[in-house]
Amino acid sequence: MKNNKKFSSRAVNLGDEMFPLRAIAEPIYQSSTFVFKNSAELKKYLKGDKSFYFYTRYANPTLKFVEKKMASLEGGDAALVTSSGMAAISTALLVLVSSGKEIISTSPIYGGTYRLFTEFFPKLGIKVHFVDAEDLEKIEDFVNFKTEVLYLETPTNPNLRIVDIKKGVKIAHRFGLTTVIDNTFATPFNQKPLEFGVDVVIHSATKYLAGHSDLIAGVVVGKKDFISKAVEVMKLLGGCLDPLGAYLFARGLKTLPIRVERQNQNALRIAQHLSRHPKIKKVYYPGLKDHPQHNLAKKQMKGFGGVVTLELKDLSSTLKVLDNLKIIKNAVSLGGVESLASIPVFSSHYGLDEEVLKKSGVTKGMLRLSCGIEDTDDLIQDLDQALKKMR
């Protein structure tokens, strides 16, 4: 049934929840297994009666609740929560590809996904070709009868380039490819890929969706048939989320819109301030008017996200600034309520060779900020005082 309520209302409450004892908050069914009263019930379950639960790796009511909410927020038919973003990516892609098949991916992508594509998938006989984020015409050069998937990630990490989702989908669908997008950086509050015709959306829910840096989780959203297949793959690969994690995920979703709205605002003001700073070579943020793809970002995004990347003189300047930040903490990850700073060559892109870094546009002078929800002036002051210490 179509839910006509606005995004923020659906984030809090889909409207049809009725928990036992009329609890307002979702119960945590922290149980690995479920009891059948008798063999007649077991038989009913085995025949497909969905009112019974069997084993938490197969399904659990706490997980089902988040799945329903995520499907609604992304505008999809169904969803599957997983134990991490990486589990979401591997589960979704292994529904679509097997030995001898090929994927075309935009570049750059998250370092972990890059390693999955270049180190692990080849061992399974799956080949991944890369096209530059802004050169989607090249997709046609790689398509052949083995190609199954076009994989997109936008905005890109850490340099916040924008992939034209509509254009990617148009090319992919012309060749019968399934499109899969990593929507982690944008969130469904800022960007709704399914509205542009994308087939499958995945997230690292560890980031904005859960939002409090206390959980590792992932989610896949798509058509009912696809999600049913993903459930079967997940059951075998084993990347299911535990019920307490699902509760934290659901709890985080309630405040997603207000958190992301504030993170959008903080990031924009910080990006504007730092783009005038004499010690900064470059600020990467799609919300800045001089970002080369600002118009495209405006077309496909409602807000530009909480990540801002700065380019400083060199690695030692970056380390100096990082070591002098007080409110903003030196930690990897992003999307939580706390502002964090990290050096891509020491975090998301650690260990990748020079050639790959160059192709991805990742430099040693980059400092990635994940803006939290603290007071904007405090964050700006923190950055200014740390930058003062840099020569």
CB of 99 to ligand PLP, least distance (A): 24
Shorter beta-carbon distance to ligand PLP: residue 143 or 334: 334
Alpha-carbon distances of 102 from 137, 143, 155, 215, 367, rounded to whole Å: 18, 9, 23, 32, 34
Distance, CA of 53 to CA of 149 (rounded, Å): 33
Owner of token pair 């960007």:
191
Judged by CB under 6 A, which stretch of 40-48, 180-188, 244-252, 304-312 contacts ligand PLP? 180-188
Q: 251 an active-site residue?
A: no
Q: Is 216 in the site for ligand PLP (CB under 6 A)?
A: yes
Catalytic residue among 10, 44, 57, 251: 57
Asked if 313 and 320 touch (Cβ cutoff 8 Å), the reply is no
Q: Is 331 in the site for ligand PLP (CB under 6 A)?
A: no
Judged by CB under 6 A, which stretch of 9-17, 82-90, 95-103, 303-311 contacts ligand PLP? 82-90
Asked if 238 and 254 touch (Cβ cutoff 8 Å), the reply is no
List CB contacts of 230: < 8 A, sequence separation 6 or more.
Answer: 80, 91, 92, 95, 220, 222
Shorter beta-carbon distance to ligand PLP: residue 172 or 220: 220
Asked if 356 and 389 touch (Cβ cutoff 8 Å), the reply is no
Q: Which of residues 112-141 bind ligand PLP (CB under 6 A)?
A: 112
Q: Enumerate the β-bridge partners of residue 307.
A: 370
Q: 353 an active-site residue?
A: no
Q: What is the DSSP letter of 33?
A: B
Owner of token pair 């050639």:
355
Asked if 283 and 274 touch (Cβ cutoff 8 Å), the reply is yes
3-state secondary structure of 117: helix
Q: Is 86 in the site for ligand PLP (CB under 6 A)?
A: yes
Task: Specify the amino acid at residue 196.
Answer: F
Q: 57 an active-site residue?
A: yes
Distance, CA of 248 to CA of 184 (rounded, Å): 17
Q: How many residues bind ligand PLP (CB under 6 A)?
A: 13
Q: Which of 110, 247, 285, 304 binds ligand PLP (CB under 6 A)?
A: 110
String of contacts with ligand PLP for each residue 280-299, x by CB under 6 A:
--------------------
How many residues are recorded in the chain? 391
Q: Is 188 in the site for ligand PLP (CB under 6 A)?
A: no
CB of 93 to ligand PLP, least distance (A): 12
Catalytic residue among 207, 229, 259, 368: 207
Shorter beta-carbon distance to ligand PLP: residue 332 or 380: 332
Q: 115 an active-site residue?
A: no
Q: Which of residues 137-166 bind ligand PLP (CB under 6 A)?
A: 157
H or E element in which residue 235 lies? helix 224-237
Enumerate the active-site residues: 57, 110, 182, 207
Q: Which residues here bind ligand PLP, judged by CB under 6 A?
A: 84-86, 110, 112, 157, 182, 184-185, 204, 206, 216, 218
